[in-house]
Chain A
Amino acid sequence: MIALGLTGFLSRNRRVQSVVALLVLLTLIAYLNFTSLERIVVR
């Protein structure tokens, strides 16, 4: 995610910006899929 943020910071290219935004979305969805509120609460 930090690498994606750095890429977005450095690149002005529209296509790169689109790819960065999409990859961040996929990463966030994957992360949310792996978290479990039950495990947070139980702990």
Chain B
Amino acid sequence: MFDYLGVLVSVIFGLALTHLLTGLSRVIQMRSHVRVYWVQLLWTLNIILYILGLWWGMYWWKHLQDWTVGRFLFLSGYASVIYLLSALLYPHEVAEGFDFETHFESNRRWFFGVFLLALLLDVPETLSKGISHLRNTWCSCRR
């Protein structure tokens, strides 16, 4: 079941990654014609890592046998929020003289609002997993 339902979630995550990497490549290509903002670049890296971490942990859901519409909507909704987060970082069109700092600042409340929503959605997801997926690094360091 997971193999089927997970496809849509994968596509949404893939679109989010594509949007971020396209935006980043546009910044590199137009670096001398636009005003680059390093905090926005750092957030690009953050969201990429966030998506990769979610993808990494999503395998846990494979063990779930009892799939309901609610669970499916939750996972696809969570992925959609992550896509929205990526879309808020980069506009679809970047003209010469574009100021990424002004863009980030004008979207700041929406960006952090959606980021907070993603973190809140992560709470039930993390609680359902517990700590079974975490390595006991601290204990292995003491040995």
Contacts and interface: CB of A to CB of B under 8 A. Distances in A.
Interface of A: 1-2, 5-6, 8-9, 12, 14, 17-18, 21-22, 24-25, 28-29, 31-37, 39-41, 43
A35 B39 contact: no
A9 B113 contact: yes
A39 B137 CA distance: 13
Contacts of A2: 116, 119-120
Nearest to A30: B137
B46 A24 contact: yes
Contacts of A28: 46, 49-50, 53
Contacts of B52: 32
A9 B109 contact: yes
Tell me if A's interface is mostly helix, strand, loop or mixed: helix
Contacts, number: 78
Interface size class of B (residues with CB under 8 A): 20 to 34
Contact of A21 (B42, B59, B134): B42
29 contacts: A1-B119, A2-B116, A2-B120, A5-B116, A5-B119, A9-B108, A9-B112, A12-B105, A12-B108, A14-B39, A21-B43, A21-B46, A24-B43, A25-B45, A28-B49, A28-B53, A29-B49, A32-B56, A33-B137, A35-B53, A36-B134, A37-B56, A39-B132, A40-B57, A40-B60, A40-B133, A43-B60, A43-B63, A43-B133
